[in-house]
Each structure stands twice: as C-alpha cells, then as structure tokens.
Structure 1
C-alpha cells in the first residue's frame, strides 16, 4: 500500500465496503458521540467520516488529535445505516473504522478556524493565508481559477493562437499607472521596470511576423487598491493579431469569453447579443463606461423640458454652456417614501439632492406629483413621462449641471434604483462593447491636451483626423463590460510612424522624445509593420464574477492587503546595507 493513501477523501462509496483503505488529510472536526469518536477527515478533494470506538486499537491515538492536525489512518470501509447517510457529500454512504493512526503534522492553537463559516478580519486571513486557503470556499475559488485558465488556454489554441512569453524585467513604459522600478547592480544609477503590460512586446511580435499571439501574462502596476483591483500585480489574457480590424478582434474574443462564462457560470444565463455602445452614449445612458446591462434603466437628456420652466434652479443652470438635465427613470418607484430615500442617497454622495417626479392615478387620470411637478406644470411633466415611457406607479429622478460633475453619482443612483426596485436580473451575465473612445482629454485648469487612453491606438480617420480639433478625435479603442465591471480593454494599434508622431505631437510630445521613450517600437515600425490589434482580459475579474465574489482578493491565492502589504511574507521589507551597497543606493529617511 502507498505510504500515505490508497484513496482520496472523496473516492470512497458503497462499492468499497469491506476494503481496507489508507487515507491522509486534515482533521476537519472531531465529535464525541457517547464514547464513539468521529473525525471528518478532509483533503483537497473532499471529506470522509472516520470513527473509532473503545474496541479500536487506535482509539487512544484518536482521542489525542485536534482540529487541523494532519494525520494518516488505516481502516475498514463500512456502510452507514440508511438513516445516517449524508447525501451532501460523495462519501456520505460510507465511513471508515480506524485500525491505525499516524500523526503526520500537529497543529498549534489556530488563529482562525477552517471548519465553519466564521468571519475573520482580513488582516488575520491574509497573515495566515495558508490556513484561510484550507477553507472550502477558498479551495473552490482557487480550483475555479485554475480551471478557467486551463480552459482559456485550450480555447486560444483552438483559435490558432500560439503562446509566447515576454520579459518580466524590462524598460519603463507608460501604461497609465506607476511603474515598479528595479535597480540594476551592473549599471549603477539605472533601473529596470516590471511591465505594466506586455504592450510593446506583443506589438513587436506582430512586426516579427507571428500572426496570432497570446499569453497568460503577469502585469505589475503601483496602483491604489480597490475591491476589483489588485494594488501590485495581476494576470491577464493578453492577445494580439495581425491584419485585423476592430470587428475581427470582437469576433475572436466573444466566443472565448462567452464559452468561459457558459462553462463555469453555474447555469446563469450568458447573453449572446453583445451590443456595441459608443463611449458618449454609455456616459449618457449609464453614467459609466462599464455599464451593468442587467439593469434595464437608461438615463436620458431631458433639458428641453426644463429650459425656461418654472423650476428656476434648472432653468438658470441651463443658461450656462455645457450643462444639461438628465433623468433616471424608475419603473415601479412611484412612492414618496422611495423618492425621499433616493434624495437622501444623493445627499450622502455630496450633492444638494435629487429632484423627482412620480406618477399616480387620481380620479381615473394619470397625475404627476412631487415638488418638481408643481413647478414645471402638467404639460411639461406629461412630455417627460412620454419621453421616458413611464406610467402610473413609476418615478423619475433628475440631476443637472455639467455632466462631468454629476455623471458618476447618476450612474451610482441608477445602480441603486435598479437593485432596490428589483429591476436588475442577478442571474445573468450581460456583456457590451464600449467603442469610439476619445483619443485626447483636456486638463480643466491648464487647458493642456493629453492622451485619454492608450497612446498607441490608431485614430479613426488616420492622419487626416489629427488635423482638426483633438477633442473630437476618436480612437479604435474598445472595452468589454460585464455586469458593471471592465473585463477587456484593447485597440487597433497605430502602426504608421507619421500618424504616431502626429498623435504624440498633439499631446505635447516632440518627435525626438517619442524616439527616445519608445526606441524599439519606432525602430521596428521602420521595417514593414503589419496592421495589428488586440486586447487583454483580466483573469482576476473574470474569476471574481464567476465565483460571485465582490472582492478580487477572494480569487487571488496570495494577495496584498489594501495598503499593498504582504502580511504573510512581510513585504515590502527594508533592504540590508549590503544589498544597498551592491546596488549603489542610499535610502533617504522620510521626515
């Protein structure tokens, strides 16, 4: 017999009754039932109930074991009494009578329990992550992550892609976040950088003549943490293709992503119709460029109904350039109690409030109610109702000003309304492509023009488009949103040097600076670069959605905390004087 096990803790069933078996695992819990000791023995695969009574030669050893001791047992498989069968586990029809027990590893008093579903502070969970990972939910999440990555690889190979690895130690390159710098011992005073993404390398792979590339790529960004983002490193499905247009990328990516969600989504509906929504429309309708389409609410511009109206606040606001009034429809939200609750929500978000109208039936007629309705009159309220497609029992909420000032709150309000009124379909994955991103943005204080998104994207209209107003230039850039999260981001790349130099010039970068900052790309594009494009999909976020988790750290095996600290390993740590001397570095103490 094998030194540690003949079967896993998920293998045994009625067909093994009478056999002598060997199992190894952890003591999940111990129960004493009138002198008979039961142990739920757990390994990665499942749980088997083992027991010993005073007649067992191993009874004295079984009495000593405690929770999370690692043990090996030899015993005989017995069928459980029919009334004691546990249908919740695969081994629930049998149990093992222990004949021999060996302790493989004792456990001290535990800082967190593996058995049960107790909540522990995140600091405790991350400091003792190896114990936290023993818990059933974490075992399931990490297994899901591994299976998703394996499935992605198979699907990419089936689509004719080849996997290539790109360097981890490289040169600094702007990707929209801070780099992690690595000092060079051999070149004092110079630094490498950990790649924020394999962006330039994958473009060079296309220049090298490889038609389809992918990689499950580690990426490193010194970012502020949030629930759906790691503050240090993350993994993405990185891909690039030559001789493609935007739609070709969509047609390639959709079956891969949809297939993953169908395979691992637990039976939840996966939308097959993925609309393409412009960045401008997404901002107007949803208040975000990563909308949750499970919520059917679309916001609308209703400025014309308030222009010159009796509601002086909105009427005067609309006399200013760049302002508008936006309505958030709320089907079934037509009660004063709900309207007051949403008004309080807006105040918590830092706004003075949120105007509202709700419609009710009075003497067989549809009547608008609320402070706004009284100020603007029945004709305007009826026009608003007609535009929004609302009726008796419905409501609408209104925000005004420059969209940049209220758009984020409007998007949050739309989400809250959808959830509180039960309009959001939770049992579904809803996808959409966001397209036509602006290439440039303008600093509100200085008026300076800079890139809004990826600077390597091809502008729509090519060189000619760059001759006009930069703020009107749209790029062949796109994101894929699902259930309120950005899953994929990509672009058709700018592979022409004349367009590239012009695009960077509009953002204030001289040709010499572009050549200096991106020498490999500029030089490579002198030698017949093909048209190419691609994208990257966030592995962590995909698994987070599939696992139905709200925090990305629940699907990362060894994550950092919110302060970008590894409490288990003690990182970041102070270097030794010898290390600093080797690198020709000196640490300046913070005041």
Structure 2
C-alpha cells in the first residue's frame, strides 16, 4: 500500500512519486491550503494538499487527528524559510495528488503531543494510543535493536538459542510463584518460571555447552519502578568455564551493545568485593558516579557519652558510619529534616549531623545538636572523615543492615538532589558475595540461589557456613544491578551439602529437586552463567524513569492491566473443570443459605 515510511523521506526523493500510510499527527488549514503532519513508526512527514486537487482536498479537509490515511504525491523541497533542520524530514514535503481515508478515529483520550499532562493510569488504560507517541516508539525500537545486538553477539560466540518450559514446578527463588491449576491432574499445579535456572543447568548436563535465551519470567512480588510481575531476562549458561570466562564474555557483550546502540565507549569494568561495597557504599550495587562514601567510626564511638552511638558501636550486629557531603553545610534545617524523614523509610530512627563551618575555631566552629556528646573524639572524627570547612557530615547508628540501607539510599538521593555525578556511566563487577545470609527466619537463606557454588570444599562449608563465600558475580551499572550470575554446583555431594545448610532435609530435597540431584550423577560438567534484566537494561539505555516506559504492555503497581482489565474473574464452569472452589464465594453461599 505504500512506497516509503514517513521517516524515510529525504532530498534524494525530490520529484519522485511516493505513497505514505499513517496517522494524522496534526492538521493545519493555512488560507485554503491544508497541511497534514503524517506519522508512522519511522517518523513524521509534512504533506501539502492544494484545493486544485478537489477530491484529495475534500478528504484532507474531513481528516482529523489520528485518522488513518493513504497519501500519494510528489516529493519536493520545502520552500526557503519553512525548512526545519531539527526534524529528520524537515527539508522535504509531499505535494499530495491523492488522499484516501482508510479509517476514521474518535477523539483520542489525550493529545499525543501533550502526554506530559496525562496521568499514567490514563496512558496505561489506552496503551495502544500511548504507544503511538514518537517517544514510546523510539524506546521500543531501541529495545528491538538491543535484543538484535545481543542475539548476534551471543550466536557469534557459539551460544545456541534454546527455549525452556513456561509451565514447570514451583522452586524456591526468593519470591512467590504464579501458580497454574492443572485440569488433567486435579489438585496439582504448574508454576510459571521465576527464571530458567534449573533447565539451563540441565542443558549443560545434556552437553549443549553454550545456551542463551531471551526468556519471559514471572514473580508474584510487590512492585517497584524497576520490577514487574512478568519481565524479560537475557539468560545464558556455558560449560567448562570459570568466573573470569563468563565475566569476560558478558562484559564484552555489554560494551559492544553500548557502542552499537548508543555510540558510548564503556570502560573496562573494575572489580569490587561485596565487603568493600557494603562498607564504603552501603549497597551491593553502588552507583560509582557519586563520589560520596561511608566511613566507619565505630571504634571512636564506643566510649562516647551518647547511647545512640555507643550502643550500636559496641553491639556485634551494630554499625556507626559517617557520610561526608562536601560543601553541604549550606543545606537548610528544613532540607536536613526532609532527609531525616527519607532515611526513616529504611528503618533509621533518626539522622544525626554536623555542619563544619570553621574548623580553626574548634567546637565553636561546628554546628550540631550532638557535638556536646562527643567532645573527646570530635577532632579525630573529623580528621578521619577528611572534613573541611563548608562540609556537612551525616551519621547512621543502628544495626548494620539499617545503617547500610539508610545511608546507602541517602548517598544516592544526595547524589541526585545535588547533582554530584562525576560521569555518565559507571559500570563495575561486584564479587566475593557471602554464600548465605541470616534474615532472622528459622533457616539461613542463599544470598543468590541454592545452586550457586561456594568457593570452598564440602567440609569447610559444613564447618563454618557463615564464613563461606560464593562464586557469584553481579554486573552493576549506575547503581542498578544489570545482571547476576555464578558458577553453579555440578557435584551432587556439594549440592546436598548446600541444601542441608539451608535446612532442606533429604526428603524435602528429593521432593523438590530430585530431578536435578539425579542429573548431577551423570557426568555434569563444571558450568556457570548469568542472567540480565532486559527491561532494566533498556530503561538505563533510554534514560527512562521506570521499566513500564520500555515495556509495550506493562502492569501497574498493583500488578493489574488497566487496558484489558486483568486479572479478572472466571466463570463457574471453568473453575469446576479445574476442581477449584473460591473460599470467599463459598462463604457467601453458606451465609446466604
């Protein structure tokens, strides 16, 4: 039906006849001459319709925004003074000889060039309209370029694209499964995969050596700006590899991706141990664009006459840390109070601070409600922090987890609020993670997942599991975890030992992971891999604030689709076939009787 996309028009087509198909982005009537801005996925082109072409003019005159038109005409240069060099097609226009209305359109719920004034709920309700906006088209086009680049790179490295099942069994991955009732097996359920983890390991046992997949995954968990109930992973696994092999391949892939898609040269990724990341940044995914760092001051606070500090300083699970903000003394008390409320979100009970106005005046040069409690250590404290005139120092004192989360988040917020970024892109690898963590529950938890290989032998692991490190590695970019991976357990005895440390007995292990334990008996090779969050990667590369902006049909914060009104109720017959009876309805029926 068409010869060119709207965005393809350029000077090489002058005096040629072209046919365009698309939507009316804007219609203007200038003294009897009608101008139509025609839009399709490739861009916008200007069409001129003269009254000399009576039928074409009449159709153009009847057209309104979002009408679907087919236009044939002669391409020509725009007259001098009307050209728009900022627009890709701004030097050329089409003088229409034919205008055909392919479909009319009701008045859209919002104007496509005024989307900033429209709430997200309205946009998601009418997502098919929202996706027509050039900004949204560009984000999804870039997403397509990213997946194309990833596929080309991995296939060039010998990886095979292999699909794994979507209907599987529930496995512990750290979040709730989406369950699917089986009609043919009454009372039994499939689970939608949280990741292809076990299947890709089984592919390594099968000898496929290098696997990848751009896989849909599902997690029934609370949502945030960078999470969705269904999301997409760039998933890969390889056999006969060490950590360095996987890290080298995936780092090269990401660096090539940024060069091809954004023309950005990422540096070689530095390495940082988990302990250092938590100590200096309060996070295992630190944003290295921000020069602020945490400083431990526990030893100085153990003897101060201030229990808010001395208590955590002397506790085994406590921490007292300082965060210096260069030239931050200009922050108002109101702003400091706002930051105090902010850290409260992360469990902090308060936010102590010192303004360094003039160090040469000693205590009189400091402004703070807490200095009087630490007069004996304040000079040593300021020396350790490297505080200078005009600086502001924040303090966190609580359990180490609370201090890390609150000051780590405060560090990021200060970086954004005060525009402290030193560069555009800051990638790194975080390595040497603990194998397990104690989250206060009855069982220890795997910091990554139960199939990550520890960096020690079975005997050492059992003797002191808390001290065990894992062979895991996370790729981090600008404070966002792009991907996480590890060398996997390929030995049955080690896998059984890890499950035992996690409090999973032999019977439970057999019931949940029997197929994996069996497979590890039959010559499982050493293997490892990594999974990238595609949605997060695209969000970063497009500069979007939320992954909802880079997914064609996302869910809301409550995991609902406003456009299709999903999830929805199903009729009684479907439930009966699945041997399901809803508890709330059953109660209502009983009450009615």
> Hey, what does 1:64 align to over in structure 2?
62
CA-to-partner distance for each residue in 1:366-407, whole Å, 9 max, x for gaps?
A: 985122444423x73332233223322222211112112332
> Hey, what does 1:137 align to over in structure 2?
135
CA-to-partner distance for each residue in 1:424-482, whole Å, 9 max, x for gaps?
A: 23x522112222222223343x6543333301111121202223232222221222111
Q: How many residues align?
A: 581
CA-to-partner distance for each residue in 1:65-108, whole Å, 9 max, x for gaps?
A: 00000001122223221111111223222222222211111101
Give the TM-score, by structure 1 length: 0.93
CA-to-partner distance for each residue in 1:187-244, whole Å, 9 max, x for gaps?
A: 22221121111111100111111211111111111121110011x2111111111111
Pair 1:192–1:324, CA change in 2 (3 A): closer
Q: Secondary structure at the match of 2:286?
A: coil
> Hey, what does 1:380 align to over in structure 2?
377
Contact 1:360-1:368 at 8 Å conserved across structures: yes
Structure 2 stretches of 5 or more lacking a match? 588-593
> Hey, what does 1:125 align to over in structure 2?
123
> Hey, what does 1:556 align to over in structure 2?
551
Q: Which stretch shifts more, 233-242 or 339-348? A: 339-348
1:176 equivalent among 174, 195, 211: 174
Looking at structure 2, the residues matched to 421 and 113 of structure 1 have their Cα atoms a distance apart, in angstroms, of 34
1:501 equivalent among 487, 496, 508: 496
Pair 1:36–1:519, CA change in 2 (3 A): same
Q: Secondary structure at the match of 1:255?
A: helix
> Hey, what does 1:36 align to over in structure 2?
33
Q: Secondary structure at the match of 2:117?
A: coil
Q: Secondary structure at the match of 1:40?
A: strand
Q: 1:150 Cα shift?
A: 0.3
The residue correspondences of 1:99-178 to structure 2 (distance < 5 A) are: 99-178=97-176
Looking at structure 2, the residues matched to 363 and 395 of structure 1 have their Cα atoms a distance apart, in angstroms, of 16
Looking at structure 1, the residues matched to 250 and 364 of structure 2 have their Cα atoms a distance apart, in angstroms, of 49
> Hey, what does 1:355 align to over in structure 2?
352
> Hey, what does 2:590 align to over in structure 1?
none
1:438 equivalent among 434, 440, 451: 434
Looking at structure 2, the residues matched to 517 and 440 of structure 1 have their Cα atoms a distance apart, in angstroms, of 20
> Hey, what does 1:462 align to over in structure 2?
457
The yes-or-no answer on 1:17 pairing with 2:11 is: no
Pair 1:576–1:119, CA change in 2 (3 A): same
The residue correspondences of 1:76-475 to structure 2 (distance < 5 A) are: 76-230=74-228, 232-265=229-262, 267=264, 270-272=266-268, 274-311=269-306, 313-335=308-330, 337-338=331-332, 341-350=335-344, 351-361=348-358, 368-371=365-368, 372-377=370-375, 380-425=377-422, 427-444=423-440, 447-475=442-470
Q: 1:256 Cα shift?
A: 0.6
Contact 2:319-2:403 at 8 Å conserved across structures: no
Q: 1:556 Cα shift?
A: 0.3
Q: Which stretch shifts more, 524-533 or 407-416? A: 407-416
Contact 1:344-1:353 at 8 Å conserved across structures: no
Looking at structure 1, the residues matched to 302 and 575 of structure 2 have their Cα atoms a distance apart, in angstroms, of 66
Looking at structure 1, the residues matched to 107 and 416 of structure 2 have their Cα atoms a distance apart, in angstroms, of 43
Q: Secondary structure at the match of 1:529?
A: coil
Q: 1:332 Cα shift?
A: 1.8
The residue correspondences of 1:529-540 to structure 2 (distance < 5 A) are: 529-540=524-535
Q: Secondary structure at the match of 1:165?
A: coil
> Hey, what does 1:566 align to over in structure 2?
561
Pair 1:317–1:539, CA change in 2 (3 A): closer
Looking at structure 2, the residues matched to 434 and 187 of structure 1 have their Cα atoms a distance apart, in angstroms, of 44
Contact 1:37-1:53 at 8 Å conserved across structures: yes
Pair 1:400–1:65, CA change in 2 (3 A): same
Looking at structure 1, the residues matched to 583 and 360 of structure 2 have their Cα atoms a distance apart, in angstroms, of 78
Contact 2:299-2:313 at 8 Å conserved across structures: no
Q: 1:39 Cα shift?
A: 0.5
Looking at structure 2, the residues matched to 395 and 463 of structure 1 have their Cα atoms a distance apart, in angstroms, of 48
Q: Which stretch shifts more, 109-118 or 144-153? A: 109-118
Contact 1:492-1:533 at 8 Å conserved across structures: yes
Q: 1:250 Cα shift?
A: 1.1
Q: Secondary structure at the match of 1:318?
A: helix
Q: Which stretch shifts more, 415-424 or 513-522? A: 415-424
CA-to-partner distance for each residue in 1:400-429, whole Å, 9 max, x for gaps?
A: 12112332111121112223333223x522
Contact 1:443-1:449 at 8 Å conserved across structures: yes
RMSD: 2.2
Q: Which stretch shifts more, 364-373 or 236-245? A: 364-373
Contact 1:271-1:428 at 8 Å conserved across structures: no
Contact 1:368-1:381 at 8 Å conserved across structures: no
Give the TM-score, by structure 2 length: 0.93
Contact 2:7-2:44 at 8 Å conserved across structures: yes
The yes-or-no answer on 1:487 pairing with 2:485 is: no
Q: 1:64 Cα shift?
A: 0.4
Q: 1:297 Cα shift?
A: 1.3
Pair 1:472–1:74, CA change in 2 (3 A): same
Higher normalized helix content (fraction of residues): 2
Looking at structure 2, the residues matched to 376 and 364 of structure 1 have their Cα atoms a distance apart, in angstroms, of 16
Looking at structure 2, the residues matched to 554 and 258 of structure 1 have their Cα atoms a distance apart, in angstroms, of 23
Q: 1:6 Cα shift?
A: 2.1
